[in-house]
Amino acid sequence: MPPPHGSAHHEGPVIGAGGREHALCWALRKSRTVSKLRCAPGNAGIARDAELVAIPPGAVDGLVEHAAEERYDLVVIGPEVPLVEGLADRLAQRGISAFDLRARRPASRAARRSPRSSWRATASHGGVSRVRRRRRGGRVATLFEARYPLVVKADGLAAGKGVVLCDGARSPSARSAR
């Protein structure tokens, strides 16, 4: 079990290779409680802030074995795919703590929770227009009746790339959302 925050130095990797993970590595590098920072798999930008480990985010078995061999205190999980594949749960079985960007609830529940229900709550809270599904007319007809600008969210996991902002029904982004 890791020591209380601030009382010792921690080691661990950030999982992922995108901008979100780069920001996490950049911030963690500044912490006085982080003694060794790695990122799996990382990218050229992340390499300035963390040592890279050549294990892809979807290779859950490899990530768990690596974390156990290195005796990490904490693994920071960026992308949703490793969560869906059970990485946080598998790390917990080995006594390794995991943090993910949905840490207010257990990672296994976060991965199984409907992305659509999370999006609805966020859109409602922020006053964002969204197309409501209807049985008749299909999604194309609904796009022409929507209030713009409009945010269209892909259903399911989209690795942070599932949102399109449409200026109007005939805009290129609206056509790609169909």
Measured torsion, CA atoms of residues 92, 49, 55, 110, in degrees rounded to the nearest 10? 40
Q: Give the tokens for residue 110.
A: 């976060």
Residue-wise over 7-42: b if at least 16 C-beta within 10 A, else e?
eeebebbbbbbbeebbebbeebeeeeebeebbbbbb
pLDDT in tens, 1-10: 344 444 456 7
- Rounded distance, CA 102 to CA 110, Å? 6
| Of 111 and 19, the one with more pLDDT | 19
CA 132 to chain centre: 25
Interval 21-36 mean pLDDT: 90
Residue 5: per-residue pLDDT: 47
The Cβ of residue 49 has, within 10 Å, a number of other Cβ atoms equal to 19
- The pTM (predicted TM-score) of the whole model is 0.61
- Cα separation, 170 vs 160, whole angstroms: 24
Per-residue model confidence (pLDDT) at position 111? 42
Residue with tokens 């022409």: 144
Q: Please give the average per-residue pLDDT across 31-35, as a whole number.
A: 87
Report pLDDT digits (tens) over 94-139. Answer: 999 998 765 444 444 444 445 555 556 655 655 655 555 555 555 5
Q: Which of the two residues, 161 and 106, has the higher pLDDT score?
A: 161
Q: Considering only residues 140 and 93, tell me which one the structure prediction assigns the higher pLDDT.
A: 93
Average of pLDDT values for 30-40?
A: 91
